[in-house]
């Protein structure tokens, strides 16, 4: 079929629609399509995403609990010398020091374990997104294995990004200290404090600019099997020329996440007040627990759902922005189409 294109009667066949094996059509995307695809990926693969999150943080909590138990057993003899003393008696350093060391060790274990768990979850999102774009439905074990394998690189990108962003923050802190010292000194008047305003106006956009430039690094570490520093350089290159588009997508994702979390909190707060709206007030502790316990369970589950969504939705949008940028700049769409077709034939 041909279509008239002007007074000269020339016709053309419209191009075929872009293939869509998964959650996105394999062509440059609009922001609305990216957000819709993020919701679709979360809806289709929530079991894998929530499952990896639950396993990672569940195992982390078990390890922290075990470390706390070992720490307590190691210093149990010193606990009475700190917490069971008569009034007015000061604990001795011989009893207090082992408790401080044990607490410090448990805290260090907790930080390391939670960092590793966060790295696994951050690596799982690009793994799931790759499958969602190609139309695959990976098993939980497959997602976990691939995420665990890329966890060190992803964690490295997160830590290096934090260090890079810390540089302007430290510069700002140093400038604030100098200005405050000038304000306090006799030679500088209060007008010096006005310099704090342009300082904040200068450094806060700088931090945001650096963050956006490096935001693709965790996805690059998984999708392209790059190391931490190479992923940072690759993200910097991909965002160059598309900073505002990337920033806008991330901001909209953040607003959506915040609104959904707020709605969850409002709904949960309303549910918590329902048992007390009608009926007699509970007279015993047992009646109060029977009245409140179901709502508490709902509130805890709802809060966990809101937190999981808040942790997973922005990285999904970031990953889709990364794919869109590669489609626009590097012509990734044909390679994705071939990969999806090969997978379909293999299955």
227-251: per-residue pLDDT in tens? 999 999 999 999 999 999 999 999 9
Q: Which of 110, 11, 38, 25 is nearest to 67 (CA)?
A: 110
DSSP-based three-state secondary structure for 224: coil
**What are the structure tokens assigned to 112, written together?**
């390391």
Q: How far apart are CA 176 and CA 180, in angstroms?
A: 6
Mean pLDDT, contiguous 10-residue spans, the chain (347 residues)? 47 74 94 95 94 93 93 84 71 80 92 92 95 92 95 95 86 73 60 62 84 96 96 97 96 93 76 57 58 68 80 95 96 92 80
The per-residue b/e assignment along 25-59, b for 16 or more CB within 10 angstroms, e otherwise, is bbeebebebbbebbeebbebbeebbbbbbebbbee
In eight-state DSSP terms, residue 3 is E
């Amino acid at each position: 079929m041909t279509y008239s294109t002007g007074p000269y009667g020339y016709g053309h066949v419209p191009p075929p629609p872009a293939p869509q094996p998964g959650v996105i059509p394999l062509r440059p995307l609009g922001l609305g399509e990216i957000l819709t695809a993020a919701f679709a990926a979360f809806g289709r693969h929530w079991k894998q995403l929530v499952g990896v999150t639950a396993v990672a943080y569940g195992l982390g909590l078990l390890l922290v609990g075990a470390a706390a138990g070992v720490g307590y057993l190691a210093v149990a003899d010193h606990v009475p010398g700190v917490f069971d003393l008569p009034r007015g008696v000061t604990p001795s350093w011989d009893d207090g020091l082992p408790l401080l060391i044990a607490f410090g060790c448990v805290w260090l274990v907790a930080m390391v374990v939670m960092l590793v768990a966060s790295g696994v979850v951050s690596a799982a999102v690009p793994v799931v997104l790759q499958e969602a774009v190609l139309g695959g439905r990976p098993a939980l074990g497959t997602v976990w294995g691939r995420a665990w394998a890329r966890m060190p690189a992803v964690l490295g990108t997160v830590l290096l990004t934090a260090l890079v962003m810390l540089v302007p923050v430290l510069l700002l802190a140093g400038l604030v200290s100098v200005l405050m010292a000038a304000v306090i000194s006799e030679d500088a008047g209060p007008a010096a404090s006005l310099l704090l305003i342009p300082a904040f106006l200068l450094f806060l956009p700088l931090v945001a600019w650096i963050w956006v430039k490096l935001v693709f690094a965790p996805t690059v570490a998984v999708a392209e099997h790059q190391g931490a520093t190479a992923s940072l350089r690759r993200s910097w290159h991909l965002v160059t020329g598309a900073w505002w588009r990337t920033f806008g997508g991330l901001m909209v994702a953040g607003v959506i996440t915040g609104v959904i979390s707020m709605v969850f909190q409002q709904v949960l707060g309303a549910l918590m007040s329902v048992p007390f709206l009608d009926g007699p007030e509970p007279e015993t502790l047992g009646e109060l627990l029977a009245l409140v316990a179901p709502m508490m369970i709902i509130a805890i589950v709802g809060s966990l759902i809101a937190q999981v969504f808040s942790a997973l939705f922005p990285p999904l949008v970031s990953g889709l922005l990364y794919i869109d940028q590669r489609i626009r700049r590097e012509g990734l769409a044909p390679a994705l189409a071939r990969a999806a077709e090969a997978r379909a034939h293999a299955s």
